[in-house]
Structure 1
Amino acid sequence: MTTSSRSFEAKKLKILSALTIPDEAYTDLSPKGSVDTGVRDLIRDINQLQGLVTTSSCAGRISVFFEGVGSDVRNSQADRIQREEASDEPNVDSERSRQFAPTGGKGSGKWQFVSHDPIEVDDSKPSFHDLFNLQPTRGSIRPGSNSQLRLARFHFEPMILHVMAESLKHAQPVLTAASSAGFRESGIQSLRCLDDKNTCPIVAVRSSGLAVESIIGYVDNDSADGEAVVRSLVTEEYLHMLVLIANERFKTNYSRMDRFRTKLMALSTGSPSRMSSQNKGWEDAGRRRERKRAEGLQRRELERQAAQAIEKPPESEDEITIPFWGA
């Protein structure tokens, strides 16, 4: 085993050991402090492959974020990618536990709402203004006498996943599967592995094409009680439309995740040295269903013909065949 292989195996063992800790005891550097439920099955399947291990993940999310004081950088997916790629901790999953989070600027912001599942749209539920804690606007925008304008943003962000590979050979199927599944902005995080054989390449699986971002309000620091209030700049119907769009994007996101998993499993069948899309011994779920269906139809037809042959009486004694065994 080479030095790089031993280094990778040690890192993978550490990550897998952490993931075996029960949920109530597990914690990491993410706001949630644990692995997102929607991506756990995919993580489990990837971590069973030789030469690969996941290091951070998020299955996708809908969020409402209020910019902090002094912040001039959007809490976009690009900012999230930079923060997560800077961490070597396993499976950093962004969710809701931490109320204040850096936005990349000098200040901090607040996660007012985060959901890793589609939002249920029901007339019996509270309004989206209540759900996102938005107050009616008061005429003209009032950012506050001594502060810059701080905005409230609605986001939908698709899955993002970081996979550490033992070598570039192991990383290539991840990139191929990600691109073919629709995660077009996927790539290797750093090319230091080309010069340093002890550095393991990390593949970022991501797509910005599904993302949705919209300004929906601003932070008013001049409220009567002195507390900062987030004023809405949009109607309830507009928020309803954003939620419907995000829910549809979630469906597409799940579909891409399934395609990514299927393609990666196909490319990774066999030993790492034989990782190739030309693996002829593997068939996807659709091809297997068709093969099983054809085999079942053929078997039933043979059974029907055999039953007819047994039930049909011979037309004459000459047609009676007497079995004969012996030499």
Structure 2
Amino acid sequence: MKISMDSFDLHKAQCLSRKDASKIGCIDRSIIEHVKLINSHSDYYTTSSCGGRIVLFAKDDGSRKCDGRWLYVTHGKASPAAIRKALSSPQKELVWFRQEAFILHVAARDLAAAKNLLAIARQAGLKHSGIFSLQSRIILEIEGNEHMDVPIKKGGKLIAPEAYITELVRIANRKMDNNMERLNTLLKYLKEL
């Protein structure tokens, strides 16, 4: 599949000229160099990105992700004290402690370019990456391997002891370190693109 050059270049210009629509309003510091490198290449542009994060997310059981709300978010390391403080406010919903890996959504000019970038992601050890849209645009998802998703509070009550919360934070912070190492490896390969 090949998208016309004019169409791809037009979409790229439009996408890159838009105001950042993320909740924080800017590209995460840990991934900005990756985004700039990808966007500087004539065959690619990023449509969204996140450098990885640790969050507390509240949502009703069975509801969709978009129906929930963030109680806490950091794109760096978390502290047990900050997590406990966020958990101290009353919530009736199910609260999840999550560590999410970095993610990049990248539009590619054509399937050959998409396969080339996917090969680079795989070289960097990013096994959860793939080409997932082949209709009007070819989109790649490049995603880190580090994830953690644990229910921590339900019906307004903690379902884990304090020591467990401290251990979750320690594990999530270690996963964020691994996330940064993988981002650095990806950056090395992107520079050869």
Q: Same fold (TM over 0.5)?
A: yes
What is the CA–CA distance in structure 1 between the aligned matches of 2:23 and 2:187, rounded to whole Å? Answer: 26
Given that 2:55 and 2:97 are in contact with CA atoms closer than 8 Å, whether structure 1 keeps it comes out as yes
Which residue in the other structure is 1:260 paired with? 186
Q: Which of 190, 197, 200 is matched with 2:137 structurally?
A: 200
Aligned-pair distance for 1:133?
2.7
| Separation in structure 2 between the aligned mates of residue 175 and residue 131 of structure 1, nearest angstrom | 38
Aligned-pair CA distance for 1:179: 1.4
Partner of residue 249, structure 1? 175
CA distance in structure 2 between the aligned counterparts of 1:231 and 1:63, rounded to whole angstroms: 18
**What secondary structure is seen at the aligned counterpart in 1 of 2:4?**
helix
1:240 aligns with 2:166: yes
Given that 1:128 and 1:236 are in contact with CA atoms closer than 8 Å, whether structure 2 keeps it comes out as no
Matches within 5 A, 1:113-152: 113-120=72-79, 126=81, 128-133=83-88, 150-152=93-95
Flag the 1:54–1:242 CA change in 2: closer, same or farther, 3 A. same
Q: 1:10 to 1:134 in 2, by over 3 A?
A: same
Alignment check: 8 A CA contact 1:127 1:236 kept:
no
Which has the greater radius of gyration?
1
| Aligned partners of 2:3 and 2:110 also within 8 Å | no
Aligned partner of 2:129 in structure 1 is 186
Give how far 1:246 is off.
0.8
Residue identity opposite 1:32 in structure 2: I
Residue number among 64, 71, 75 corresponding to 1:112 in the alignment? 71
How many pairs are equivalent? 191
Local SS of the residue matching 1:170: helix
- Alpha-carbon distance in structure 1 between the residues aligned to 2:69 and 2:108: 34
RCO (CA 8 Å, sep 6+): is it higher in 1 or 2?
A: 2
- Structure 2 Cα separation of the partners of residues 174 and 231 of structure 1: 45
- Whole-Å Cα distance in 1 between the matches of residues 110 and 140 of structure 2? 11
CA contact (8 A) 1:173 1:264 kept: no
Partner in structure 1 of residue 65 of structure 2 = 103
TM-score (norm 2): 0.88
Counterpart code for 2:13:
L
1:133 partner letter: S
C-alpha separation between the residues in 2 aligned to 1:156 and 1:131?
16
Name the one with the larger strand percent. Answer: 2
For the residue of structure 1 that corresponds to 2:62, the secondary structure is: coil
What amino acid is aligned across from residue 129 of structure 1 in structure 2? R
Aligned CA RMSD, in angstroms, stands at 2.2
1:72 equivalenced with 2:9 (yes/no):
no
TM-score (norm 1): 0.54
Structure 1 residues 127, 260: closer, same or farther in 2, change over 3 A? closer
The answer as to 2:115 corresponding to 1:172 is: yes
Gaps of 5+ in 1: 19-25, 74-101, 136-142, 144-149, 193-198, 220-229, 269-327
CA distance in 1, matches of 2:88, 2:94: 14
Identity level (%): 29
